[in-house]
Chain A
Amino acid sequence: MAVGKEIRTKIGSIKNTQKITKAMEMVAASKMRRTQERMNATRPYARRMQRIIRHLAHAHPEYRHPYLLPRDGKRIGILLVSTDRGLCGGLNANLFRGLLRRMKQWEEYGCHLELSIIGQKGVSFFAGVGGRIVAQKTQLGDEPHLGDVIGVVKVLLDKYDAGELDQIHLVFNEFVNTMTQKPVIQKVLPIEVEELEDQLRHHWDYIYEPDAKEVLDDLLQRYVESIVFQGVVENKACEQAARMVAMKSASDNAGKFIDELQLLYNKARQASITQELSEIVSGAAAIQ
């Protein structure tokens, strides 16, 4: 029966698409579990590091590290963490939109902006809108290592050290839960800390080994790296979660589409049968 051939082919092709999105959903789900575990594993380090920095900001050292001194200035370095691949819903788009809005505000204040970007999507987007990209790192893979991010961080830190930048901000997606990812713009440098409990108010300083400058340089560099790395790991978990959700809704939509087409096909088939029957019946009636 030649009826509905087009519809049948269409159903077939949507079924194939659905198979792909289902497979991607499952892959993303298993990767998400792994990236989430990783994110939880790296959190304690970042938290302890932040505690030390909080203590440090309330010490009264003879050597003040430049990262801890407030700076006025309008040259801002932005470190953007994005994904390498697409098909993860509005994850990147939301992040970029938020950042663009902020960049516009900064520009209205007359700020000079420089971008350092992790992830292919961010690179191609901001190259398109004409951002000043000073460093980029793409193809991080599913298990990023601290060593992977050091390069892009160092470019900004060197500029900060040389006085070419006055602020550094980190932009990434924070993992709230599987359904929710929150775009975050976080100020990394200069370090600002809130007031602390009273016991640290009195005048004190660390004993440094070997000496204050060496230890603090080392510590603060690690601090920045750990913040950025935590951002990268969170963003990775967000990517997998967003992809899983996006692919799930794509599979669901495909399912709905198939149901509708199937209904249409059945109707067309029945209509043609009815038509044929009535033709036969009326033909027979004409003969009698």
Chain B
Amino acid sequence: MTIHVDIVSAEAEIFSGTAEMVFAPAELGEVGIAPRHAPFLSRLVPGEVRVKISADEQLPFYVSGGIIEVQPHVVTVLADTAVRAKDIDEAAALEAKRRAEEALRDRSGKIDYAKAQAELVEAVRQLQVLERYKKHKGRLEK
């Protein structure tokens, strides 16, 4: 039994197809959605959306937040921005992380603390997704 999955960001359609299961970073913790899941609506936090296409094939994506809607046979992820894990720009993420950390160390009170923190979270999550992807890459591509 499979479930249809659509992942779109405001600027592009990232993925559309069927899957056995979907994992997503909902606001109150990661959720796993199997076919015939009850209707579900939640905000997403920055993190990894994983689409399990078959027992040995998984597609990881990074989303920066958004909304997930679940109907028994279709899952829709409306992401603010979304990229395939393999397309994550590691250098840019590291740079963003460094900048955010620097901004947070700045005690002069001139910075927008909440914004810097949000940027830091996004950068760190991106790196985590990439890290995971690299670790599992060999296994996934067999």
Q: Mark A residues whose CB is within 8 Å of B.
A: 38, 41-42, 44-45, 48-49, 51-52, 55-56, 59, 146, 204-210, 214-216, 218-219, 222, 226, 229
Write out the residue numbers on chain A whose beta carbons fall within 8 Å of the beta carbon of B28: 209-210
- Determine if B10 is an interface residue (Cβ-Cβ < 8 Å): yes
CA distance A49 to B9 in the complex (A): 11
* Option from A41, A49, A209 in Cβ contact (under 8 Å) with B27: A209
A to B CB contacts below 8 Å, 28 in the list: A38-B11, A41-B12, A41-B13, A42-B10, A42-B11, A44-B6, A44-B8, A45-B11, A45-B13, A45-B78, A48-B6, A52-B67, A52-B69, A52-B78, A56-B41, A59-B39, A146-B10, A205-B39, A208-B42, A209-B26, A209-B41, A209-B42, A210-B43, A214-B43, A215-B43, A216-B41, A222-B67, A222-B78
- Determine if B117 is an interface residue (Cβ-Cβ < 8 Å): no
Within 40-69 of B, Cβ neighbours of A (below 8 Å) are at 40-43, 67, 69
CA distance A51 to B41 in the complex (A): 13
19 further interface pairs, Cβ-Cβ under 8 Å (given A51-B76, A208-B40):
A38-B11, A41-B12, A45-B9, A45-B11, A45-B13, A48-B8, A48-B76, A52-B76, A146-B10, A204-B39, A206-B41, A209-B26, A209-B28, A209-B42, A210-B27, A210-B42, A215-B67, A219-B41, A226-B10
**Residue pair B69, A55 in contact (C-beta under 8 Å):** yes
**Residue pair B40, A206 in contact (C-beta under 8 Å):** yes
CA distance A205 to B69 in the complex (A): 12
Q: Mark B residues whose CB is within 8 Å of A.
A: 6, 8-13, 26-28, 38-43, 67, 69, 71, 76, 78
Q: Select the residue from B9, B10, B26, B27 with max chain A CB neighbours within 10 A.
A: B10
**Interface class of chain B by DSSP:** strand
Write out the residue numbers on chain A whose beta carbons fall within 8 Å of the beta carbon of B26: 209
A282 to chain B minimum Cβ distance, whole angstroms, is 80
CA distance A204 to B72 in the complex (A): 12
**Residue pair A44, B71 in contact (C-beta under 8 Å):** no
A181 to chain B minimum Cβ distance, whole angstroms, is 23
Chain B, residue nearest A53 (CB): B69
CA distance A216 to B71 in the complex (A): 16
**Residue pair A208, B41 in contact (C-beta under 8 Å):** yes
**Residue pair A206, B12 in contact (C-beta under 8 Å):** no
CA distance A219 to B27 in the complex (A): 14
**Residue pair B41, A215 in contact (C-beta under 8 Å):** yes
CA distance A205 to B41 in the complex (A): 10
